[in-house]
Amino acid sequence: MASRKTPARSRRVGRPVRSESADDVRKRLVEVARELFVRRGFGEVGIREIARAAGVTPGMISYYFGGKVGLYEAMLASVFEEMFGRVRELAAKPAEGKGPLASLIRTYIATIADHPWVPLLLLREIVTGDSRARARFIERFASRVSSLLPSLVEAEIARGELRADLDPKLAVLSLLGMSLFPFLAHPLAGKVFGYELDPAFAERLLAHTTQLFFDGARPRAETT
């Protein structure tokens, strides 16, 4: 009598093969998704396309991230979690030297310089793109620091480093604009004004933004 073969245990759909670590798969999916989202936008890229480009099954995206929105959040988290953690540290510790606001400017510009795709993605998705992406960005990231950033300005005002009549929220918007726009406008402005998004430019922008902001926002000297 022919022996009965025990059926092989099937691998759960979407799970990685044993030869590749989960971290490797997650990292590759995030990198591939970033390239596609930046180039085409959240709404124009499907799960199957991402999976095909990453060399995995579509089920892996659901397995690791719960779907396309979760993958999008993970892509943003790879950049913003570290930066937001630094912002929280700056808000919690006592002011030293030029104070936490100057450190915030450095942190923000350094993060954008290391990830120059971020401004274009934010413009595409958060300002003009898919409403789901915008809502999740606000809920997951922006809302967490919406009070922390103005609080850094308020701390500088309390120290007497900034004018008492300065609006903290408008000051934050001004800082973000000065720091972000050169990266966002680079495809056009880089050719017109002759700059490249390299470390040397990031240092120049940092020095310029810090000086311009603090020179304009410091208390005015009293005249007799």
28-38 tens-digit pLDDT = 999 999 999 88
For the chain, the structural domain boundaries read: 14-66, 75-217
Please report the pLDDT score of residue 145 as a whole number.
73
> How is residue 17 annotated by DSSP?
P
Q: Please state the rounded mean pLDDT for residues 18-43.
A: 86
* Beta carbons of 14 and 59 less than 8 angstroms apart: yes
CATH topology of domain 75-217: Tetracycline Repressor; domain 2 (1.10.357)
Over the stretch 168-221, which tens digit does the pLDDT of each residue have? 999 999 998 999 999 989 989 999 999 999 999 999 999 999 999 999 998 887
**Residue 7: pLDDT over 50:** no
State how far Cα 100 lies from the chain centre: 20
Fold classification of 14-66 (topology level)? Arc Repressor Mutant, subunit A (1.10.10)
Q: How far is the C-alpha of 83 from the C-alpha of 104, rounded, in Å?
A: 9
To the question of pTM greater than 0.95 for the whole model, the response is no
pLDDT at residue number 129: 67
Same fold for the pair 14-66 and 75-217: no
Query: CA 47, 50, 53, 56: dihedral to nearest 10 degrees?
Result: -60
Q: Rounded to 10 degrees, what is the CA torsion of 129, 130, 132, 136?
A: -20
- What value does the mean pLDDT take over residues 52-58? 94
Q: Is residue 47 scored above 80 in pLDDT? A: yes
Residue bearing the bigger pLDDT, 40 or 127 = 40
pLDDT, tens digit, for every residue of 152-175?
A: 899 899 989 899 999 999 999 999
